[in-house]
C-alpha cells in the first residue's frame, strides 16, 4: 500500500473511490492551509451572499503568513475574499470572512469543529480557520481526502481551486492581483486544484485533484519534502495504472 515511502510523512492517493496507496493516513498532523477547505464549507453552507460587503478588521489585516495585503477598514465583497482565500491562500481574507460570518474567529472555529464531527473527520480538530500552527490544530490525510471530496462539490470551490489567477477590487477601487499557490495548475495535465499549504510545523502540504478521460485522482500530501514533483509523479503513476487496469 505504501508505494512511495519517501513521498511525505503522511499521504493518501485514491483513484475514483478506491484508495490505492497510503502512508500513515490516519496519523494526526498539522494540515496548514488545507484547513481553509473547511472554512469554505462552513461559509458556503450558511446564508452565503457573495455580494455582501465585509469590513476588514485590524485583527484580520494583521494576519501573518500568506496574505492579500488587505488594510484595516477596507471593504470587499465576501466573494472577493473567498477568492483571495482559496486562490492566494490569504490569511487576512480568511480571518475577515470568519469574523463576518460568526462575529468572532473563535465562534467560527466552533462551527468548523461541529462540521468536522458531522463529516466524521475523527482525526481532525481545528484551532483557527486558516491553518496557522497551533497546539491541537491537527488532521489526517484520510480526513482531508474526505474533506476535499466534499468541498469540491461546491461550484465556487471547484472553480476557484482551478483558477491560476484573478484580480479583486476593494469598494474604494483598489485592485489586488492574486496568483494561485498551486504550482500544478497549467503544468500537470488534468489538474483541477485543490489546495496547497505550508507552515513551519506542517511542512509542505497539498491536496490535489486531477481528472483525465473520466478518471479522477485524489492525493493528499502532509509534510512532503518535494511537494510538487512528488505530487506530479504520484498522479502520473496513478493515471498510468488506471489505464492499464
Name the residues annotated as catalytic: 33, 36, 89
Q: What grid cell was written down for 41?
A: 464549507
175 by Cβ neighbours in 10 Å (0-12 / 13-18 / 19+) ranks as exposed
Give SS3 for 39: helix
Q: Do residues 126 and 35 lie in contact, with contact meaning Cβ atoms separated by under 8 Å?
A: yes
Q: What grid cell was written down for 229?
A: 514533483
Residues with Cβ < 8 Å from 225, sequence gap 6 or more? 6, 8, 203, 204
Distance separating alpha carbons of residues 235 and 230, to the nearest angstrom: 9
Distance separating alpha carbons of residues 153 and 156, to the nearest angstrom: 9
Amino acid at each position: 500500500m505504501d508505494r512511495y515511502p519517501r513521498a511525505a510523512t503522511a499521504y493518501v492517493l485514491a483513484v475514483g473511490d478506491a484508495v490505492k496507496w497510503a502512508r500513515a493516513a490516519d496519523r494526526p498532523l498539522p494540515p496548514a492551509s488545507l484547513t481553509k477547505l473547511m472554512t469554505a464549507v462552513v461559509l458556503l453552507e450558511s446564508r452565503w451572499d457573495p455580494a455582501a460587503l465585509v469590513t476588514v478588521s485590524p485583527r484580520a489585516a494583521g494576519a501573518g503568513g500568506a496574505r492579500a495585503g488587505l488594510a484595516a477598514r477596507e471593504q470587499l465583497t465576501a466573494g472577493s475574499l473567498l477568492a483571495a482565500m482559496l486562490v492566494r491562500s490569504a490569511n487576512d481574507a480568511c480571518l475577515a470572512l470568519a469574523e463576518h460570518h460568526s462575529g468572532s474567529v473563535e465562534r467560527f472555529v466552533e462551527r468548523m469543529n461541529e462540521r468536522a464531527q458531522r463529516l466524521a473527520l475523527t482525526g481532525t480538530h481545528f484551532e483557527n480557520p486558516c491553518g496557522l500552527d497551533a497546539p491541537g490544530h491537527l488532521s489526517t490525510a484520510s480526513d482531508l481526502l474526505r474533506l476535499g471530496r466534499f468541498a469540491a462539490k461546491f461550484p465556487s470551490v471547484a472553480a476557484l481551486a482551478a483558477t491560476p489567477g484573478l484580480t479583486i477590487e476593494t469598494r474604494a477601487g483598489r485592485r489586488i492581483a492574486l496568483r494561485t499557490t498551486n504550482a500544478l495548475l497549467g503544468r500537470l495535465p488534468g489538474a483541477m486544484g485543490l489546495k496547497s499549504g505550508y507552515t513551519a510545523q506542517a511542512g509542505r502540504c497539498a491536496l490535489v485533484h486531477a481528472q483525465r478521460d473520466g478518471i479522477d485522482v485524489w492525493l493528499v500530501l502532509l509534510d512532503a519534502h518535494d511537494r510538487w514533483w512528488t505530487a506530479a509523479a504520484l498522479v502520473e503513476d496513478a493515471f498510468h495504472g488506471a489505464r492499464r487496469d
